[in-house]
Structure 1
Amino acid sequence: MQTPPTPSGSWRFLCVLLPLLIACGDSDSGKDAGTPDSGSPPEDAGTQDSGPPPEDAGTPDSGPPPWDGTYTVLEDPGDWIDKGRYDACQFVDADNLDPQLCQSLSSFDLSSCSTEQLSGLEGKGIYQLTTRVELRVRPGRPNSTAISNGSNSFLLSLDGSTDMMGSAPLLTRVTEGGTFFLAGRRTVATPSGNVITTTAFAGCHVPSPGVITGCYVSCLDSPITGYSKTLGTFEAHRMTWAHGEGEASGGLARVGEAATPLGMPVDVYVAKEHAYVVSQERVPRLGGLSVFDVRDRTNPTLVKTINIPGDGAWNGVWAKGDALYVASDSSGLVVFDITDPANPVFVRRAEGPSHVHTVLVEGDRLYANSAGVATYVYDLTTPLAPALLQLVTPTPGGFSGGPHDVFVYGDRLYVSNADSGYSIMDITDLDNVQHLGNYLPPGGFVYAHHSAVGTFAGRTIAFEGGEGTGTHVRVLDVTDPTNIPLIGTFRMRPPTSIHNMLLRGNRLYVAWYQEGLRVLDVANPTQPRQVAHFNTFREFDPGRRAGSLEGAFGVRVPGDGYVYVVDSTRGLIIVNAL
């Protein structure tokens, strides 16, 4: 194991912020989607030793019809679509703020529920939940009935280990005799004292295989606000493969697979017949870089691991020539020399931000995104010595969560700007960057997270994906950044989340967490349709956890005939390309 120099105290301090920053681990951004109609496909640093670069989106004009460039502007309902109460049961005494009631089965009216349906549940598995918040009760304030949504998760042990709600052990579990009831507690330390949240879910019906509906209550005990209560209904989906699906479809099949001993794998880049996988720290396992020799795709071989003590939040990776760039939320932009691809050598930390969440290389420029700060643009004339050129702030009014990731297409920078919108910038002149426009759906994004852009029927089309409950593929016509209409969508199960996406010709590859790899035909971008999938998420994999950030994180299609996917538990998975 190689150990480069230890980061300074300020870098170590940022490691403490990892739980706040883990919402991401981004993968492919700009150059994988290609160039405008009049340009040639860009060089892909991941295909040096595997033939010419693959054909990219919009080369030329994404092929003949089925799409003539016309569309109907769609209304954007947001990520979560309110379809009314999930079930008829309810918490009985809403106004009583006694916290003990929040963990008691007798506090729920379940008279309308089906014990027969609930008796058929296995009593095990990993579930993702969407909650419909219907009432808030707070001391000294009027009750609120404003409808909103939330999320949660639970794991009912498959192997005798601890049952979990989110990241905390269950307090109560009753899942026999036609009853389904779970209660859990989360404690967060604050300068004013511990904030304790107790949440209980009472199942009522099983409307379809793997789905439970019911009602819930969540009670907050805070040293600042005292007791308060939130209640409503929920829909829980077991994170087995969707009903009726198999492991794969559309000709995709697993070719090879290899795990890593480092942390939680979140991103991969392929260069010089090697796959470079970066991992976030996942206690007790350190984060870092894992190098796999993939010359034999059926047998990817781990040849080296690298981790830096105190620098475990490695979140993104890219390569150009003999340089490998790692985005570290702990220490910034980390540069390695991969002249010998099996033995990366630490070179330096580039000038600039002390934390970088995602990284993208396009031509001779590198774009490093420091969440909540700016996009740092570097010159890569000398790849092993990135030279800082400029800082780009995505919106004229600032932002609260971004830039999370960027995509470069032609002379424009497309910024996934967290809850501040999807921003488009003109970067023709880095000394005079111009903000061209924004897209922000009604109610805002859960988290504008990642995108890919190409040219179809002479129009510039962006495929945008958020992160969080209900996030899905939005298709946007960004030809005129001052007027961006929604022209298409594609959704999976409501509680699941997209992570990253990548555009190859008329195929959009989406790393969709628990939904695995989804391949969409977007030749007619107004009507994306799934043509293939490979499910990476399996409940029984050792170390598999509840939580929304589990499953397929990153995807690369370097043009060598294979698709490389990184899964949070399984590590590197190689499937054949379409």
Structure 2
Amino acid sequence: MTVVVATLTVAGPAVATAPPGYNDLTDVWPTAVAPASCREGDRVETGIQGEVPLADRTSGRSTQGYNCNIDLIGQYQGQGAGIVSATYEHCSYTGSTFPASLVGRNPGVQVIDASDPRNPRLSTALTEPAMVGGTWESLKVNKKRGLLVGTGVPMLQGAGYISVYDISQDCAHPRLLNTGAGSQLSMPIPITTHEGDFSPDGNTYWVSGLAPGYVSAVDLTDPGNPMIVWSGITGMEAHGMGFSPDGNTLYLANLFGLTVIDVTAVQNRKPRTVVPQLMPHIGEKYWADGQVTQHNIYATYGGRPFLFSIDEVGSGGVKLFDASNSANLTQRNAIKLAINLPENANRWAQSTAGNGLFGYDAHYCSIDRPVDPTAMACGWIQSGIRVFDIKDPDHFREIAYFNPPAQRGKADQLSNSSHALFGSVDLPAILGTLAVARAVLQGDARADGIISDQNRLAGGDLSADWCLSPPEFHGNQLWVTCMDNGFMTLQLDPSIYPPR
């Protein structure tokens, strides 16, 4: 079969990494970032960049994990972790997974005291309805106000429950602020929820409820009494988000790209004031290289605004857009691993088969600073934690990675791991189907060997962990949770961070 794809030339800055005539609406980014140069003695990957080869999964080699320029120095595995966790000062908050969060040894959100990063310990557990209801991608911290918020998402989408905690005084023992509406089982509030995040000033918590793009703004000027001040339909689907520093612009992820929305009316409202009008859309950006955009990160280089956008599905990786004109975002660069390239699509499908729905895709990332950032760290699901030098927006490179040991045979011990609950079934990583199919149809990858009995692991026995949570920078350490390994403190080698 011959497939012809029309290619249009897109005007934009001439950069070393952008292919000539690249059309960010229809084309697939064809290159991976330069791989990291590892230290002698590191337990390096045995396959191509980002891969956990089938041979390592079947032999048990993946249970040793891989590391390059980064070391595990502390861990609290507990019962595993939900999808997204958060950190604040010397504490970490481990997301919960429903319904297992109701029955584990420490149900709800686990609070980890990492004041000694080499010996993190469980401090307490948060057990309000939102916390035991599964926090999905809603568990977030606002460092400016010292607030922790999570919403209840039993499965993909939830409704009604939100808990707000003060963590500014004692982060190891969060204090519930909204003891009534949102936290009491009999007092839900009118929200649908899958994901959420704070405005930069911490006065508003924005919550998205997936289809049909329903989003709500929750006023937290009085955090003890959360109040809905705006809600509405923003498009066909609403996912994660990012904000301009002044909070006036919302960069909302959706199914095939992102929507830019002017939320000045919410940001500049008088406290506790309902905003009735529709939020005007500034612009939209869509692409075919990756699907289910996860979230967006605003940053500036030399005073110029940029936006990192992360795709959860389809090997889209991380895209960098010039955001000087929010109505016309222009792709400047991209971060992909070798396993994400079209020519490796059959290897992508082969080695992930049997380890659940997700494969080698980016999910949540963080940068070390918003102004002239130097490094980005990402949870790349089955590829583990990946760290990149991003000092130069035109030249990205990988500088470190850590893929934690696979926890084969331990699913029954990991009651809070979303991977152990949903991923330990013998299924192919079907969320990458579109990218694999496109690569095969366009002749970039072979179709043979993508699915066969020999490619599957009996029982889908957790042959590689799922790392979906953002690794957060704490000096030269990364604090992160992966689903099967729980909370980990990782030390970056001083030779690679800060990047020189």
Normalising by structure 2, we get a TM-score of 0.47
Structure with bigger gyration radius: 1
Report which of the two has the higher share of helix: 2
More strand by share: 1
Task: Give the TM-score normalised by the residue count of structure 1.
Answer: 0.42
